Structure 1
């Protein structure tokens, strides 16, 4: 029989032996960890296509370590000793595995090549809307929406609207533009551009497809490439169509990427940049070939004699909109002299740069102006000689427009412009704009006030007061 003393002695030696045994083991033998800082050579993994879909790859980490972090090269990441990644599009992808141990971390990469695109894996609805889906073997063909205002347009790069110009219905009928057909097919994401031999090109970019330099926008003899593909991608919440191999959609601007502003099964509105003019953004409206838009007659506003006055106090009496200019009401009158000692006036600043070329303040009324009853507009203005009138114009213009024409309202507008002589500058003057000669016109519901001229990038500051149309 062992004594208590011998039992204690034996236990001590057993415990000491276990401690020595554990201390002599490497951590990798205990928990699969590497004690020293790992190297990239130690980071190993396998990449194997799944048996059911060659575009889905199974990844397995074969390296020691307690954490594995994957970057699959397709925008997706994951953690774990095994992981799967999907690659709908053909191409070569660089996959990175990072392992973490108690000694640090290390990474290595491996390339994965996907032989063919699998359109069935492209789940963004835009793919189906553009092409008609996988069951549509011939794809979907789109054409320019030539009867709609703004089927071609341009505006400043900082805007999301063609503020500068919108083509009117059928305006480009002789430019080889409306017979172009763009077909998007989900089969291998093939894109076909048929132009009947000629492409309408932007004058500044036409040389990119063999067109002339200078002059107006030409129709260029051009044979489109046949090896084009298309893709829809998303960036910062915006979706884009990208055409491969310098392909493009109808109007040549030297670019191949188009932001999708709106898209349905029948209509599409796109925005793109201008390779030669960095300050411009262009717009295209397209419809599905064969689509006939339902005709909705415009709601005609009632006729009414205008009764508008605005003393430009802090409280709105007329809700003016400011388009690419800066307007403030209730502005302290800096020149309380002569005919206008009002405490507050309207401040009108014409912006510099391309954005300000066609700036104006305007209002659209819920009725059409009965010019047989009221046809005179009066306005006080202060044209400061501090402006550089070798650049900005000492001009005040009032325009009446038909708002139903949208960005093309200028095409049917009536305008009265007055150039202010040097002797009339640096003081308040009252101007009258007499539209009685247009009393028979019944389409106008919008008033536009524009100071400093248009079509140039030069700034100016002006003051206005006591608007009357009554």
Structure 2
């Protein structure tokens, strides 16, 4: 499709040049007419669904064919497959020294040739000739990036990529898109509403803005539609559904590029037709309805002990992961280089303000399971500033306190449990700490030395399930010998 677009743009630009030159240079040839553009076609004797076209024009130096089925060519003689019965309007355009002219003829294909439809891309998209009801696709909600957006010309959604199940209750995951080989029919069934980009959804009749977001839900009655599929030179496919239908998330496009296609999975992208530059290319991932992705058990992590140490003087030696509104800035100027800690650089820990950050923390995600049989104590220096707000109440009712705490907790977790890792964690914490001075704390996990499942270390300062934020400082994290 991109090649076609570039050809047409070149065609328009050349026409402009020829017209301009003709006004300035009377020596150019006379402007051609449609009678100057001639071509013949004949049906293949053994397969009437193959048609050979020949440019018989006596003028012109550049033929451009549009065969009425999505195929474009610039050759003088072309054989074109027409697997499906119907009338096709074939148009030949000629570029000449005097301008541009074209003519058209209708090619009639009497019968559909099912054998010509037995091609891999059609079969993967529709299920093939034996799939009477076609193949139904749904959004691959369990996969990261099942919806995303990036700049025009990109290859992945670098600006935004939806997390698994992120769009639950957004009238998105219940969409069903069915492609049939018979008649090239396409249907898009929604549960009364579909999910629409904010730039378009606001203008749709009956649309409602999603709670807490900028997109919209809009009512929809499925429309009669067809599809076309073309091969691109880069190995992708061009997929178009006829107006006013679309695939999944609505962002104004009906023409898509299939980045990858198999019997069970399809990855598509489409340029926002009204977004301009540099916005936007939208990405979606779909799977065949009923498909369950095979689960390959991960390789068990090695059980071992390694040094864990960081003094934050230079670039951190540990990869810290911010989580839930907690963040760590390493190589930060020491706010109080006195007492126990006179080093010039430390790390600044921030717990963001608000209910969304009530579980703020910073994590160290290990690529092995910790052997804490003999080395099971951590040392950490901490500075608790007095300027934080430790009096404003706000938090979850199940917590024993309701204000920001002068507290530091270190936790060991099993990351394989994902969102439930806290249920089996080992935690050591220090509460009621002094402010405005460096303290050195020792976190003793010897009571958990028989555990073999820890692969994540969590640092949490200021308490948990509290809505008030704060700023703290740490230094010299070390697993003791």
Band the TM-score falls in, shorter-chain normalisation: 0.5 to 0.7
- Root-mean-square deviation over aligned CA pairs: 6.2
Secondary structure of the residue that 1:183 maps to in structure 2? Answer: strand
Counterpart residue number, 1:287: 288
Counterpart residue number, 1:128: 123
- Cα deviation for residue 115 of structure 1 reads 6.5
Counterpart residue number, 1:310: 310
The answer as to whether partners of 1:229 and 1:243 remain within 8 angstroms in 2 is yes
The separation in 2 between residues aligned to 1:434 and 1:256, in whole angstroms, is 59
Per-residue CA distance 1:20-78 (angstroms, 9 max, x = gap): xxxxxxxxxxxxxxxx743332793323332135674513233158xx33222467544
Instruction: Show structure 2 runs of 5+ residues with no match.
Output: 1-26, 350-360, 386-407, 428-434, 462-471
TM-aligned CA distance change 1:166 to 1:444, over 3 Å: farther
Counterpart residue number, 2:78: 84
TM-score (norm 2): 0.54
Per-residue CA distance 1:204-242 (angstroms, 9 max, x = gap): 438637342352688766421123435356486654543
TM-aligned CA distance change 1:49 to 1:154, over 3 Å: same
The separation in 2 between residues aligned to 1:433 and 1:224, in whole angstroms, is 64
The separation in 1 between residues aligned to 2:244 and 2:442, in whole angstroms, is 52
Secondary structure of the residue that 1:201 maps to in structure 2? Answer: strand
Counterpart residue number, 1:182: 177
Counterpart residue number, 1:21: none
TM-aligned CA distance change 1:198 to 1:318, over 3 Å: same
Per-residue CA distance 1:292-346 (angstroms, 9 max, x = gap): 44443344435556632234677984467899xxx999x8989996687768889
Counterpart residue number, 1:61: 56
Per-residue CA distance 1:233-259 (angstroms, 9 max, x = gap): 648665454332132334555544555
The answer as to whether partners of 2:128 and 2:134 remain within 8 angstroms in 1 is yes
- Cα deviation for residue 283 of structure 1 reads 3.8
The answer as to whether partners of 1:154 and 1:281 remain within 8 angstroms in 2 is yes
For these two proteins, the number of residue pairs brought into alignment is 382
Residues 1:194 and 2:189 aligned together = yes
What are the residue-to-residue correspondences of 1:24-423 with 2, within 5 Å? Answer: 37-41=28-32, 44-52=36-44, 53=48, 56-63=51-58, 68-73=61-66, 76-78=72-74, 82-84=76-78, 86=80, 94-99=91-96, 107-111=100-104, 125-145=120-140, 149-150=142-143, 153-155=146-148, 157=150, 159-160=156-157, 163=161, 165-167=163-165, 172=168, 180-195=175-190, 197-202=191-196, 204=198, 205=201, 208=204, 210-215=206-211, 222-231=220-229, 234=232, 239=237, 241-252=239-250, 255-270=253-268, 281=282, 283-289=284-290, 291-302=291-302, 307-311=307-311, 317-318=317-318, 364-369=365-370, 374=376, 378=380
The answer as to whether partners of 2:196 and 2:217 remain within 8 angstroms in 1 is no
Larger Rg: 1
The separation in 2 between residues aligned to 1:412 and 1:274, in whole angstroms, is 40
TM-aligned CA distance change 1:310 to 1:151, over 3 Å: closer
Instruction: Show structure 1 runs of 5+ residues with no match.
Output: 1-35, 349-359, 384-395, 417-423, 452-461
Secondary structure of the residue that 2:32 maps to in structure 1? Answer: helix
Per-residue CA distance 1:85-128 (angstroms, 9 max, x = gap): 537598656533235xxxx6754333455677988767984332
TM-score (norm 1): 0.55
TM-aligned CA distance change 1:346 to 1:434, over 3 Å: closer
The answer as to whether partners of 1:176 and 1:199 remain within 8 angstroms in 2 is yes
TM-aligned CA distance change 1:151 to 1:343, over 3 Å: closer
The answer as to whether partners of 2:42 and 2:52 remain within 8 angstroms in 1 is yes
TM-aligned CA distance change 1:63 to 1:272, over 3 Å: closer
The answer as to whether partners of 2:267 and 2:286 remain within 8 angstroms in 1 is yes
Per-residue CA distance 1:251-300 (angstroms, 9 max, x = gap): 555544555454321233445678999679554442343x3444433444
The answer as to whether partners of 1:340 and 1:428 remain within 8 angstroms in 2 is no
The separation in 1 between residues aligned to 2:268 and 2:412, in whole angstroms, is 30
- Cα deviation for residue 132 of structure 1 reads 2.1
